[in-house]
């Protein structure tokens, strides 16, 4: 296998995205457009004319260049349009040209580690019927769903980008202004190309109490962002949105993933987790 290390400007975007699109483990975070919004700089390992690829987001601290996962990118790793073996993952990992990295592989990449460190998040298989899916909802989740019905929370997928961002600013500001810019760019791009879902939850007085942003690609609904007001937390607004999404997508060839909101949302609706390996190599003071 011939592996090349190339800079972002050298990457053939069409071939790159075609690989991610056809990969059985493809994730939205690995598409070129997503990386260009989230990473200040990124490079890649490419093998066999883009049959195998590995994105490398780059950060820089006092002149030290290293691989680091950007905000809004929970996992990356090795992706292939062909069958992906552990040997290929190992070979790609060995060719990373940086001594220092903080990297999270997707759930379908297995990497040799002396001490295994993982990041887990819940996923829901939406192929079964709504009844079968709800049978896996935890007892606490069942209570939450009854509260949603009693509180008369309604959900709509008609929210605009500006309305979403205004609500977010009011109820949970991002820690850095740069992250807000990135999020708005992601939402705007995804809406423009009709791959986004901007959901709003409303109370009985039609006041907006929670919002959520998802991207649909690779037969997966990726929950990227979710925010609730105090009223929304009291009335389980975000859980109402998740229930709405499950109900409207049951019996479809889709998976719903919670990489950013696993403990507060995903855990109530699923018992299935993705286990992703986290690699820290080199000096760790910048991680």
Distance CA 161, CA 152 (A): 25
Q: How much is the mean pLDDT over the chain? A: 94
CA distance 137 to 259: 18
143: Cβ–Cβ under 8 A, 6 or more apart, which residues? none
Question: Rounded to two decimals, what is the model's pTM?
Answer: 0.95
| Least-confidence region, from 95-104, 108-117, 125-134, 219-228 | 108-117
Q: For residue 286, name the pLDDT band (cuts at 50, 70, 90).
A: low
User: What is the percent of the chain with per-residue pLDDT over 70, rounded to a whole number?
Assistant: 98
Contact 99, 282 (CB under 8 A): yes
Alpha carbon distance 40, 36 (integer Å): 7
Length of the chain: 287
Bridge partners (DSSP) of residue 3 are 47
Residue 243 CB: number of other CB atoms within 10 A?
Answer: 24
């Amino acid at each position: 296998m011939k592996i090349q290390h190339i800079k972002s400007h050298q990457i053939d975007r069409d071939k790159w995205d075609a690989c991610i699109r056809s990969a059985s483990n493809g994730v939205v975070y690995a598409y070129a457009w997503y990386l260009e919004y989230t990473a200040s700089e990124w490079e890649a390992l490419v093998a066999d004319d883009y049959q195998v690829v590995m994105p490398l987001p780059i950060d820089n601290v006092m002149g030290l260049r290293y691989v680091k996962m950007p905000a809004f990118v929970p996992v990356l790793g090795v992706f292939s349009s062909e069958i992906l073996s552990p040997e290929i993952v190992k070979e790609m990992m060995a060719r990373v040209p940086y001594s220092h990295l903080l990297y999270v592989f997707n759930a379908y990449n297995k990497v040799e580690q002396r001490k295994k460190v993982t990041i887990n998040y819940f996923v829901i298989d939406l192929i079964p019927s709504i009844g079968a899916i709800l049978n896996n909802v935890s007892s606490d989740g069942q209570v939450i769903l009854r509260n949603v019905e009693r509180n008369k929370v309604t959900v709509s997928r008609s929210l605009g980008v500006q309305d979403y961002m205004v609500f977010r600013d009011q109820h949970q500001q991002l820690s850095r202004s740069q992250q807000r810019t990135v999020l708005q760019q992601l939402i705007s791009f995804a809406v423009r190309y009709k791959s986004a879902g901007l959901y709003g939850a409303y109370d009985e007085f039609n006041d907006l109490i929670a919002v959520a942003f998802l991207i649909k690609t690779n037969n997966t609904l990726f929950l990227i962002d979710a925010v609730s007001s105090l009223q929304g937390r009291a009335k389980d607004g975000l859980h109402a949105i998740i229930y709405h999404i499950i109900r409207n997508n049951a019996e479809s060839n889709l998976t719903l993933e919670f990489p950013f909101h696993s403990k507060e949302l995903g855990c109530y609706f699923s018992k299935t987790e993705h286990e992703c390996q986290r690699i820290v190599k080199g000096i760790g003071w910048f991680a």
